[in-house]
Structures are given as structure tokens and as C-alpha cells.
Structure 1
Amino acid sequence: MVDEEELEVTISRLYQEHYMDVYKFLVCFSGNRNDAEDLTQEVFIRVLNHLSRYNHQSSIKTWILSIAKHVAIDHYRKRKFVTIFKEGFFKRMISTTQQPIDQMEEREMKKSVHDAIASLKPDYRSIVILRGINEFSVKETSEILQCSQSKVKVSYHRALKELKKKLNVETEEVLRHAR
């Protein structure tokens, strides 16, 4: 049996190491920073409650992100929200050297990309977030989503094809504006 102090140190370390990955995934999925913060807390509560069930078959990061996926799906089912991305969600520092027209075009493109990603079915959306935005490997994505690597590859390809069609742009352009 693990003593309480050791468990506290373990949870604290896991939280510090994986908080940002979980938070970024949940922000992408929920489209709302406040919801993502709440959901991130829920993920780490579940990690604490189920740490004894961790079987070391995958990395701890993969296991935690798998929990995050389930928390996100639960949230999605409860809310049945229509869109997951809000304007300005992926805001980056806008260069002061950009002309106002360039800034406006960039914002419009980001909004279009976010709207297109939001319109994808949940499986595609999850894969685009994990592979395209968070840049997880096919293997990590398959472990997090608990599906085969070939399903990840096929679904990612189809999701990008659908995004390209919706946006009438190249895939690299879609992913660049989603980050």
C-alpha cells in the first residue's frame, strides 16, 4: 500500500508534468478556457481516484490523456454543444509589423479554420486536435483514443480532406492557422 505522503508527491508531480497537455487538449475540445480548467481538474481527480488501476501498458501521459478524452466526451454528451471553437481561441501574438489588413485576414482565416474543425464529427475533431494541433504521434493518438493506428491514419487523412474541401486551402495552411 502506498502511503499518503508518497501518493501526494506522485499526484503533484503528475499534475505539474501533464497539466498543460491535458489543458490544451481540453481547450481544443471544449472551445472554452473556463470549461477546460474545470475539466482539467476533473481529469486529475479521476487520475487520483484511479491511479491504482494504471497498468503501465502505455505511458502515463497516454493514460492521462485517455482519461481527458473520456472527460471531454462526457462533457460533450452533457452539453451537446454545437460549436467548440470561439473567435480568438488560438490567439497568437500578432506581429506589430503586420499591416491591419493582414491582421484582419489572419483572424478571418483562423475563425474559418476553427469553424471548420468545429463542424467535424467528434472522432475527426479529436484526431485533428491530437495529431494536427498538439502534434502527437499516430501511436500516441491511437492509445489516447483507444483505437487502431490504421484508424487514426485513415480518419486523420479523411478529416484533413474534409477540412481542405470546406476551406478550399492546402492542409498545411489549415494546420498552421489552427495552432
Structure 2
Amino acid sequence: MTASAMEKIYHHYSGPVFRYFYRMGGDYNLAEELTQETFYRVLVSLKRYRGESTLSTWLFRIAFHVYTVNLRSHFRSRCLPLDQDIPDMGRFGDPVRSLEKAENHQLISLALQQLPAGYRTVIVLRIFEGLSFEEIGAVLNKSPSTTRVALSRARQRYRQVYNQLANGYSD
């Protein structure tokens, strides 16, 4: 593999991989660190890629493994800091609307962080990264139908958590 080919892979997939980690853990620095670890592992194991799945599926499988290993070794807080999404408020526009938008975004992030890791993974890969059920199944070593059921349950649990948070309750 040439350096330019690896660079193309990195530029194409680093954003989605970073977003996956950020949405899974809510920590910008950790997401950067895990993204770097993922691409290091991709570089080391690229010779073993056999093309049995798409490159994105194979890469997200590595990212999922990196996240799982990190989760096991470092138990971290599952909530975002309260000021995480406030920087958008400095932009032009209605400050009340900006605050409401930031609060809603914060509520969505908090609800996502309170889901079990398996549910969070399915939601992030399907909704935010646009992977198919077949691709998510390959990442998680599950069938597409099992992945569909998991997404349905994850959405249901997400709605419950979101509504509790929106009404002022917390787990």
C-alpha cells in the first residue's frame, strides 16, 4: 500500500470514524485519540484486508474493536460536560433561538450517552454514519435482521431517555 493510498483512506474515513467515537463517548480528545489508534491499526493490518466486506465496514469493525477495548480498560463518565456545545451561541442570529437549539442538541447528546453502548453503536452507525443493516451487522458480527431489531429497541429506549430528560428527570 502506498502512502498516498493510505492518505486517501484516511481523508475519506477519518471524519466518520471521529464522529463515531465522539458520539459514542462524548469526549473530543478521546475521539481524536481513538481515531488515531484506529488508523494505526488499519495501517498495520491493511495487508490482511481480503475484500470480503466493504472497506468502510472493515474499518468500522476495527473502530468498534478499538472503542470496546478502550471502554473495558478506562471506565469514563457517560455524560457530556454541560458547556460542550455552547460555542455555536456566538454566531449571528436570535440568541434565544440559538440557546434553545444548543439546549436541544445537548439534550439529544445526553440522551444518546445514557443508552447502553450496544444501542448507542447501532444508532450512531445507522443514523449518523448511514451504514446499511448489512454493514452494521458485519461490524458487530450480527445478522442484518438482528441489527434491525437492535435499532428498533435502541430507538424505543432513546425516546424514553430523551422524554425523561426533557421532563426534568434523570436516571
Give the shorter-chain TM-score range: 0.7 to 0.9
Normalising to structure 1: TM-score of the pair? Answer: 0.80
For structure 1, the 5+ residue unaligned runs are 1-5, 170-179
The answer to whether residue 118 in structure 2 is matched with residue 112 in structure 1 is no
2:115 alignment partner, SS class: coil
For structure 2, the 5+ residue unaligned runs are 165-171
CA RMSD in angstroms, aligned pairs only: 2.2
Residues 114 and 38 of structure 1: is their aligned pair in 2 closer, same or farther, counting only changes over 3 Å?
A: same
Counterpart CA distance in 2 for 1:89 and 1:144 is: 29
Q: Which residue of structure 1 aligns with residue 48 of structure 2? A: 53
Normalising to structure 2: TM-score of the pair? Answer: 0.83
Q: Given the alignment, which residue of 5, 15, 32 partners 2:27? A: 32
- CA-to-aligned-CA distance 1:139-176 (integer Å, 9 cap, x gap): 2222222211112111111111111122239xxxxxxx
Number of equivalences: 163
Q: Which residue of structure 1 aligns with residue 146 of structure 2? A: 151
Q: Given the alignment, which residue of 89, 93, 96 partners 2:92? A: 96
- 1:131/1:138 contact within 8 Å kept: yes
Residues 167 and 49 of structure 1: is their aligned pair in 2 closer, same or farther, counting only changes over 3 Å?
A: same
Give, in angstroms, the shift of residue 91 of structure 1. 6.8
Q: What is the identity percentage for the equivalent residue pairs of Structure 1 and Structure 2?
A: 26
Give, in angstroms, the shift of residue 129 of structure 1. 1.0
Give, in angstroms, the shift of residue 37 of structure 1. 1.3
